[in-house]
Structure formats: structure tokens, C-alpha cells
């Protein structure tokens, strides 16, 4: 198959009138359509008749967009495996056979966004369990400077910071799906007697996850009515609200501290972009070393990189590790443009 980055990632078989598999598109449709997880940039604006995804992803996507879709968690030649990014995230293993007797078969792994770390309530992606000839991988943090502390160290540092500031409100910022739930989890373990307040968007995601997991996961954040007269509450808000005027006003009025959480926190400029008092490199993606370890564990014949530092990481794989690797660029039309 030819792998192309267009609207989503397309896996195309020669002679087919439409792509065989389309992954994480906004509108493009293939014979099989895969959604790796429920972040907005990986889900359909209007879904095709049937989507291959996890039950959790279907439920969370509906809660976030108001649009439901039919889904199956497997399809002929498609296997989903946990990707460790957010609740319900899945990597797709795609089998291609050129002959009816199964000769000249090839296996593709599309990771979507992924993390190999076990975090809070989430198990990481296991590359040792993947057998693939072609790896199409997300490389958000594909530079050597993006090396993060161990998860145990990170969670302990965050818990200690929360405990050391138990006499004033704390405003914590993370994505509504993923980081926000982990921050609730860490806050609960750090300080069980402090109330946690969340935005409506985070609360909606909480409820969707709780329903999709049959109550196995529970988040105690309460949607706030007002952010006035706070004492020691922990307030968790979406990252894109960090510099909002009303947030800055509330932080000043309530004598609160702001904390930002992202892998980009490795760069000191992240602190100033969000006007944070403190930052932590808590992320739902792999760091550089984990990306390298993933490739070496799967040991594919070909690696395609996408997102983030895709060109730099592909170059590292080729020059330092001897892999055949190239970044996927939007709307390339021939294999020669890759190699």
C-alpha cells in the first residue's frame, strides 16, 4: 500500500477507487475509517456510516461534539491495540495481502497519538507486542531536548507542589480530554480534603469517560458556579483559557497560583506564554527517548513520521539507527516524493 498524508492518513491499494483505510480524517472517507481517539483534530466533522474505534472514543466524541456515529472495535484486516494517549485511544494494526492465499503480506502500524508510559489510571502503548513491517508514528516531541522525568517523579513533584501551597487557590491548566482528568487524579491523591472545581467542558468529558468505562473511572471535579471567594480550592481549566482576561482577573482577585502542564514545559518560554507561576512537563505523548525505543522495539522495515518534529526525528532514525525513514508531508502523490 501507499501511505499518504492528506485529510488524515490514507493507506491506498493500487487499483482501488478509494483509499482502503483512512485514519483520523475530518471528512475524507475510505473503505475502512479509523478514529484513533476523541481529540477534535482526529475526529470526523460528519462521520461516515461506520467508524472503527473503541467504545470509549465513540462515547467521548459524541459528548464533545453532540454527534454520534455507529462504530465497531475491529474490522477484517484491522486490529486495534491500546495507544496509551487518552482514555479509549487505539493504534491500528493493518494487514495487507496481495494474494488470496496470503502471500506477500505486509503489516502496517498506525500509532495515532500515543504514549508508552503508564500514567495515573492509564496503561501505555506496548511496542513489544506489535509486529509491523511499516510504522506510521506520531513524533510530537521528536528532538533530543524533549526528555522528560519519569512519571513517578513527575507525579510526586506535582503532588508536593500542591501540598506546599495548601493555603491558597490553585489554577491548573490542561487539555479538557486527557490532561485535565489526570490532574484531577493527582490532585485527589495529593490532597483529599480540598475541593476540585472544573469547567463545564471538562465536566462533560468526565461524565462521558465515567459512562464509557461503566464507572471504573471516577473524577470528583465539580463544575463551578463562580470563582469568587475561594480559599484553597483546586481549579482545573482548559489550556486555551490560561491567558483569558477573566482568568487573569480571577487569579489576581483570589490570590491564586497558576500551573501549566505540557511536554512543551521543557522550554522555558512555555511558562511565559501562559503566564504561569510554575510548569511541569506532564504530557500524553512520548518523549524523544521513548519514540526511539518504540521504533527499536517494533523494528519495522519502513518508518513514516508525522506531526511535531517529524523531519528531524526521521533524520535521526536514518543517520543514527539505520532505518529507512521519511516524514509524511501533506498531499504528496508518489512514493518517489518520499524516498
> Is residue 228 pLDDT above 50, yes or no?
yes
Model confidence at 1, pLDDT cuts 50, 70, 90, reads confident
pLDDT at 98 over 60: no
pLDDT of residue 18: 74
pLDDT digits (tens, 9 = 90+) for 150-202: 999 999 999 999 999 999 999 999 999 999 999 999 999 898 789 999 999 99
Judged on CB neighbours under 10 Å (0-12, 13-18, 19+), 48 is: middle
Is the pLDDT at 336 greater than 50? The verdict is: no
Is-contact 220 184, C-beta < 8 A? yes
User: Which of 239 and 67 is assigned the larger pLDDT?
Assistant: 239
pLDDT of residue 215: 87
pLDDT digits (tens, 9 = 90+) for 194-227: 999 999 999 999 999 999 899 899 999 999 999 9
Is it the case that residue 128 has pLDDT exceeding 60?
yes
Q: List where CATH 3.60.15.10 sits in the chain.
A: 2-145+285-337
CATH (one of 1.10.3720.10, 3.60.15.10, 2.60.120.10, 1.20.120.850) for 2-145+285-337: 3.60.15.10
The residues of the chain that CATH labels 3.40.50.10710 are 151-280
More confident residue, 68 or 244: 244
Count the neighbouring beta carbons within 10 Å of the beta carbon of residue 155.
Answer: 20
Q: What is the pLDDT of residue 46?
A: 72
Task: Say how far apart CA 18 and CA 287 lie, in whole Å.
Answer: 35
User: Looking at the predicted structure, is the pLDDT value of residue 24 above 50?
Assistant: yes
**Predicted local distance difference test score (pLDDT) of residue 246:** 97
Relative to beta strand 2-6, strand 8-12 is antiparallel
Alpha-carbon gap, residue 201 to 37, rounded angstroms: 17
Q: What is the dihedral of CA 94, 100, 101, 106, to 10 degrees?
A: -20
pLDDT for 331: 66
pLDDT value for 292: 98
Rounded mean pLDDT of 119-132?
96
Q: Mean pLDDT in the chain?
A: 92
Q: Which CATH superfamily is domain 151-280 in?
A: Metallo-hydrolase/oxidoreductase (3.40.50.10710)
Amino acid at each position: 500500500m501507499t501511505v499518504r498524508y492528506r485529510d488524515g492518513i490514507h493507506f491506498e491499494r493500487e487499483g482501488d477507487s478509494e483509499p482502503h483505510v483512512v485514519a483520523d480524517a475530518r471528512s475524507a472517507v475510505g473503505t475502512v475509517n479509523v478514529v484513533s481517539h476523541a481529540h477534535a483534530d482526529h475526529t470526523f466533522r460528519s462521520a461516515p456510516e461506520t467508524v472503527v474505534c473503541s467504545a470509549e472514543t465513540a462515547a467521548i466524541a459524541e459528548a464533545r461534539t453532540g454527534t454520534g456515529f455507529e462504530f465497531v472495535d475491529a474490522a477484517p484486516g484491522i486490529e486495534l491495540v491500546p495507544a496509551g494517549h487518552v482514555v479509549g485511544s487505539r493504534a491500528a494494526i493493518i494487514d495487507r495481502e496481495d494474494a488470496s492465499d496470503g502471500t506477500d503480506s505486509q503489516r502496517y502500524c498506525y500509532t495515532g497519538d500515543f504514549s508508552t508510559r503508564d500514567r495515573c489510571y492509564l496503561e501505555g502503548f506496548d511496542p513489544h507486542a506489535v509486529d509491523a513491517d511499516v510504522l506510521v508514528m506520531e513524533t510530537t516531541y521528536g528532538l533530543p531536548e524533549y526528555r522528560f522525568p519519569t512519571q513517578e517523579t513527575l507525579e510526586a513533584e506535582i503532588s508536593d507542589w500542591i501540598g506546599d501551597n495548601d493555603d491558597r487557590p490553585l489554577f491548573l491548566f490542561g487539555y479538557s480530554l486527557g490532561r485535565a482528568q489526570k490532574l484531577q487524579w493527582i490532585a485527589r491523591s495529593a490532597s483529599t480534603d480540598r475541593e476540585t472545581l472544573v469547567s463545564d467542558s471538562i465536566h462533560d468529558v468526565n461524565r462521558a469517560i465515567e459512562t464509557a468505562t461503566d464507572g471504573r473511572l471516577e473524577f470528583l471535579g465539580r463544575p463551578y458556579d463562580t470563582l469568587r471567594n475561594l480559599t484553597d480550592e483546586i481549579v482545573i481549566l482548559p489550556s486555551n483559557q490560561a491567558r483569558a482576561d477573566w482568568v487573569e482577573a480571577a487569579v489576581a482577585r483570589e490570590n491564586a497560583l497558576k500551573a501549566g502542564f505540557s511536554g512543551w514545559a521543557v522550554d522555558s518560554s512555555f511558562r511565559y506564554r501562559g503566564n504561569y507561576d510554575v510548569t511541569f512537563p506532564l504530557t500524553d505523548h512520548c518523549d524523544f527517548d521513548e519514540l526511539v525505543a518504540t521504533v527499536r522495539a517494533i523494528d519495522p522495515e519502513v518508518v513514516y513520521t508525522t506531526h511535531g518534529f517529524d523531519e528531524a526525528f526521521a533524520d535521526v532514525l536514518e543517520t543514527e539507527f539505520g532505518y529507512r525513514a521519511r516524514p509524511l508531508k501533506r498531499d504528496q502523490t508518489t512514493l518517489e516524493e518520499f524516498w
